[in-house]
Amino acid sequence: MPGTVLATLYRSSQVCEVFSLQYLHLPNEEHLGEKESSVEWVGSIATKLCKLLKIAPPAVCQSTVQLFEDDVVEVWTRSVLSPSEACGLLLGSTCGHWDVFSSWNISLPAVPKPAPQPPKPPAPGAPVSRILFLTDLHWDHDYLEGTDPDCENPLCCRQDSGLPPASRPGAGYWGEYSKCDLPLRTLESLLSGLGPAGPFDMVYWTGDIPAHNIWHQSRQDQLRALTTVTALVKKFLGPVPVYPAVGNHESTPVNGFPPPFIEGNHSSSWLYEAMAKAWESWLPPEALHTLRIGGFYALSPRPGLRLISLNMNFCSRENFWLLINSTDPAGQLQWLVGELQAAEDRGDKVHIIGHIPPGHCLKSWSWNYYRIVARYENTLAGQFFGHTHVDEFEVFYDEETLSRPLSVAFLAPSATTYIGLNPGYRVYQIDGNYPGSSHVVLDHETYILNLTQANEPGAIPHWQRLYRARETYGLPNALPAAWHDLVYRMRGDTQLFQTFWFLYHKGHPPSEPCGMPCRLTTLCAQLSARSDSPALCRHLVPDGSLPDVQSLQPRPSFC
Ligand SMILES: [Zn+2]
Ligand SMILES: [Zn+2]
């Protein structure tokens, strides 16, 4: 996420040197008693660098480093990696020399893969199930109408943003097209205005509840966001079952999710325990059990369907705890394989929900996940993620030829405006719920609040449907091949791509147009469900050289 001072430090070119520098001076295991002074030392270096490189205003540098320094030193003192290894893990092969990415593989059961069986279209008149999908709510407790939307901090429109100069308007009442999150009233308006989009059979809610003021968040702040927003969701959705997933902003410091072998005060138990309590009425005991241990779970919301909620922080490039050990953290992927095999054995279908999309993950995690998806293509009926804040998708292909589309992950847009977007949410139409239903996505709809209209004096907020996927893109169905075809149609059809670009930003695209390099990069992201795989975009630049294809590798945008 752009506001993360240390994450930005990791990504800047000077960082490899910083890694080496800090390692040379960090205490080794015999001197762990010196940890306190190391914390101070690392903190002062990081603060100096943050200010020197003008990564954030000095006060933000100071607070962010204070939040991170203790956990970061804990990780470094436990880490068995050399500086170049650590840098390679975080930045990829351009930085470190040690290829951590190819170092682990989960094992698949000896059961042979059944022949691929694409789902049959449902019979005319078959029941259709509606799933409400909420993601990236990012509630800002300190949002304040009239404050500066373009302040110097990483998050604005809030008490500490100050007032804008007389030449510019202040933050709007319902939200703002800027680096701002949402006031509680906008989330309340979203939830209270769901009527026309419903009724819903269930809700998937994929995390990032707190705001982006990541330089100044206590555990208490994060828990207040969890309980306040959970209570709001319960109030408006009543008896509809809600199935949450853990986002990268739930913790503090942001992205800090130690694997379960870290115990005591550094562990995530303060967070997972609170989640288990807040979500107790939605989840069965066995789901609450694994949630408490690793922030993930599985349950059967209806006969024939298994829902798996993954904690994608264990795949994250920005989770610094993975420096200690990045091999299948918490054993989550091996557990996923067990769940999928059991579902295959029972003849059940599976939905996966999670926060960070698989194409954004650390290489080894991402490649293993891709392999699992390919193995269980007949069983896996849907994949649903968030985190990028924009409206997009990731197509999965068979591993042998990288040509046959076999699954698609839908990346739904955020509720928050961060950065420069309309508030919004998604509804999926699913084949179900009846005996033998395929549980695949039949279509989806996206709803927004047009902020320009809503912030007019005297206006009443009006949540409207922005578009329906199949109708807008002329898709024969919503199966993987249709999304694959759409990408290649958009390559040559400027008007179609402009429609996608408009909807990608929830009806509020940036003022600068998206030219050919931007278009190809965006389309490449839709083909890249596996990270560090330039081959997936090879057909986008037919005559292009490999470096051209590599330059198309997607980057995270607004999360
Ligand atoms: Zn987010
Ligand atoms: Zn996120």
User: What pLDDT does residue 42 have?
Assistant: 72
- Report the separation in Å between the CA atom of 173 and the middle of ligand 2, taken as the mean of its atom positions: 24
Percent pLDDT > 90 in the chain is 76
Residue 6: pLDDT band (50, 70, 90) is: very low
Neighbours of 2 (CB within 10 A): 16
Helices (H), 279-331: 285-294
Binding-site residue numbers are 136, 138, 208, 248, 355, 387, 389
Per-residue confidence (pLDDT) for residue 22, from 0 to 100: 39
Residue 506 CA, ligand 2 centroid: distance in Å: 17
Rounded to the nearest whole angstrom, what is the distance from the C-alpha of residue 355 to the centroid of ligand 2?
6
Range 127-147 burial, b when 16+ CB lie within 10 A, else e: ebbebbbbbbbbbbbbbeeeb
Please report how many Cα atoms fall inside a 13 Å half-sphere around the Cα of residue 437, on the Cβ side. Answer: 24
Give distance in angstroms: CA of 114 to centre of ligand 2. 35
The pLDDT of residue 72? 76
Q: Which ligand is nearest to the CA of 357?
A: 2
Alpha-carbon distances, residue 162 vs 132, 147, 149, 170 (angstroms): 37, 6, 9, 10
The CA distance from 372 to 360, in Å, is 16
Asked if residue 12 has pLDDT above 80, the reply is: no
What pLDDT was estimated at residue 67?
86
Q: What is the pLDDT of residue 78?
A: 72
* Ligand 1 centroid from CA 521, angstroms: 21
Q: How much distance in Å is there from the Cα of 201 to the middle of ligand 2?
A: 25
Which pLDDT does position 25 carry in this prediction? 38
CA 384 to centroid of ligand 2, rounded, Å: 14
**Binding-site entries for Zn(2+):** 136, 138, 208, 248, 355, 387, 389
The ligand with the least distance to the CA atom of 136 is 1
pLDDT at 488: 98
Please give the distance, rounded to the nearest whole angstrom, from the Cα atom of residue 136 to the centre of ligand 1: 4
pLDDT of 85 reads 64
Q: What's the CA-to-centroid distance between 386 and ligand 1, angstroms?
A: 7
Mean of the pLDDT values across residues 43-61? 81
Both tokens assigned to 435: 């005996």
Phi, psi for residue 535 in degrees, rounded to 5: -60, -25
What pLDDT band is residue 155 in, cutting at 50, 70 and 90? very high
Of the listed ranges 94-108, 159-173, 234-248, 428-442, the least confidently predicted one is 94-108
| pTM of the predicted structure, to 2 decimals | 0.90
The pLDDT value given to residue 26: 40
Q: How far apart are CA 66 and CA 54, in angstroms?
A: 17
Most confident of 60-64, 121-125, 293-297, 543-547: 293-297
Average pLDDT on 221-248 reads 98
In tens, the pLDDT along 176-222 reads 999 999 999 999 999 999 999 999 999 999 999 999 999 999 999 99
pLDDT at 224 over 50: yes
Q: What pLDDT, on a 0 to 100 scale, did the predictor assign at position 539?
A: 94
User: DSSP class of residue 446?
Assistant: E
Q: 105 C-alpha to center of ligand 2: Å? A: 26
Mean pLDDT of 141-161: 97
Query: Which ligand is in closest contact with the Cα of 390?
Result: 1
Nearest in space to 211 (alpha carbons), one of 160, 146, 267: 160
- Mean pLDDT value across the chain: 89
Q: Cα of 248 to ligand 2 centre, how many Å?
A: 5
By the 8 A CB rule, do 413 and 400 touch? no
User: Residue 498: is its pLDDT beyond 90?
Assistant: yes
Residue 49 banded pLDDT, cuts 50, 70, 90: confident
Residues 6 or more apart whose CB falls under 8 angstroms from that of 509 comprise 501, 502
Percent of the chain past pLDDT 70, that is, above it, reads 86
Nearest ligand to the C-alpha of residue 319? 2
* Position 36 pLDDT exceeds 90: no
pLDDT for 292-335, tens place per residue? 999 999 999 999 999 999 999 999 989 988 888 899 999 999 99
Predicted pLDDT at 13: 33
What is the SS3 assignment for 394-441?
EEEECCCCCCCEEEEEEECCCCCCCCCCCCEEEEEEEECCCCCCCCCE
